[in-house]
């Protein structure tokens, strides 16, 4: 039998943690001297200690490790535990990768021009136009591509020609009155020429002209918050007020290039004179 200090050295687990493992029933001493209170471990328990450390190094919590040790009689069950943990860690890694990218973007912005004047706000009259429209609730804003895929399939079925000689007005309109972390209400529009039959999803309609405060910028969508702030300050300072849902016009979109530095987006807010 091994006293707790020796077992600690051999297992490379601190005495404090060994006592905690005892309290939660994860690694219980083989025996405890009733007169002295000393904890004694068997040499065979070094294998269990090693398994616990291995699971900790794979990111399992102590409650999960205790469950695995108690309920894992065969390799098939163990494999399922490991696959589940692998899936969870992959999701965490993707989330951390996104956070690291945001940090990198922030670092790159340090030292650059911080004034909102780097965004040129233009008051623009959007012309009346005939459009193909598709509006739906989607899982998240970054799933907007689902709408474009569906629209293009349905336009192809009717052989709808897309005008090549008109300004690019392919756009996404965000109808919610507030920011939605999930299930936003998004409408996409493409300009078309001629009359066509509406389907269950795609509607052909005439959109009226409108006045909008707009900013054209190049780069990733991580700049949207700063662009929105610039427009909000411009609206405040010029005596206009917001008059409808914001929309984006995609001059160079992710469907044309996978490089975010090459994307060109026009952020638009309908306005009226206050």
The stretches in the chain having pLDDT less than 70 are 105, 109-117, 163-168
Q: By C-alpha distance, which of 211, 136, 224, 146 is closest to 179?
A: 224
Q: Which residues of 235-269 are buried (b: 16+ CB within 10 A; e: fewer)?
A: beeeebeeeebbbbbbbebbeeeeeeeebbbbbbb
- What pLDDT sits at residue 176? 94
pLDDT at position 109 is 62
3-state secondary structure of 61: coil
pLDDT of residue 116: 47
Question: Rounded distance, CA 4 to CA 6, Å?
Answer: 6
**What architecture is the 2-71 domain classified under in CATH?**
Orthogonal Bundle (1.10)
Instruction: Judge residue 157's burial from the number of C-beta atoms within 10 Å of its C-beta, 0-12 exposed, 13-18 middle, 19 or more buried.
Output: exposed
Maximum Cα interatomic distance, the chain, rounded to a whole number of Å: 96
* Cα 236-239-242 angle, rounded to 5 deg: 65
Ranges for all domains in the chain classified under CATH 3.20.80.10: 116-273
The per-residue pLDDT for 162 is: 73
Say whether 226 sits in a helix, a strand or coil. Answer: helix
Distance CA 21, CA 53 (A): 12
The span from the CA of 268 to the CA of 217, in Å, is: 11
Alpha helices in 117-248 (DSSP H): 145-157, 224-238
| Start-end of CATH 1.10.1660.10 domains in the chain | 2-71
**Rounded CA separation 228/233 (Å):** 9
Query: Which pLDDT score is estimated for 133?
Result: 95
What is d(CA 173, CA 13) in angstroms, rounded to the nearest whole number?
A: 57
CA angle 166, 169, 170 (to 5 degrees): 125
**pLDDT the model gives residue 14:** 92
Helices vs. strands in the chain: H and E counts, helices first: 7, 12
CATH topology of domain 116-273: Multidrug-efflux Transporter 1 Regulator Bmrr; Chain A (3.20.80)
> What are the strands of the beta sheet with 39-41, ordered from one edge?
2-3, 39-41, 31-32
């Amino acid at each position: 039998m091994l006293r707790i200090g020796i077992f600690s050295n051999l297992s490379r687990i601190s005495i404090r943690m060994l006592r905690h493992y005892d309290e939660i029933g994860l690694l219980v001493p083989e025996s405890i001297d009733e007169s002295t209170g000393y904890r004694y471990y068997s040499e065979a328990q070094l294998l269990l200690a090693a398994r616990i450390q291995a699971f900790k190094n794979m990111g399992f919590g102590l409650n999960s490790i205790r469950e695995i040790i108690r309920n894992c009689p065969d390799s098939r069950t163990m494999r399922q535990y490991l696959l589940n943990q692998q899936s969870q860690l992959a999701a965490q890694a993707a989330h951390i990768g996104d956070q690291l990218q945001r940090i990198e973007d922030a670092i790159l912005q340090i030292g650059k021009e911080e004034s909102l004047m780097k965004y040129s706000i233009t008051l623009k009259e959007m012309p009346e136009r005939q459009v193909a429209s598709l509006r739906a609730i989607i899982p998240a804003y970054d799933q907007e591509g689902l709408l474009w895929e569906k629209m293009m399939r349905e336009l192809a079925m009717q052989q709808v020609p897309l005008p090549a000689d008109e300004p690019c007005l392919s756009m996404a309109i965000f109808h919610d009155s507030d920011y939605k972390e999930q299930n936003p209400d998004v409408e996409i529009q493409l300009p078309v020429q001629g009359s066509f039959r509406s389907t269950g999803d795609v509607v052909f309609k005439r959109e009226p002209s409108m006045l909008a405060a707009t900013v054209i910028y190049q780069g990733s969508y991580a700049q949207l918050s700063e662009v929105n702030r610039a427009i909000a300050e411009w609206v405040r300072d010029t005596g206009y007020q917001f008059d409808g849902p914001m929309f984006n016009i995609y001059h160079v979109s992710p469907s044309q290039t996978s490089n975010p530095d090459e994307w060109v987006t026009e952020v638009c807010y309908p306005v009226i004179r206050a």
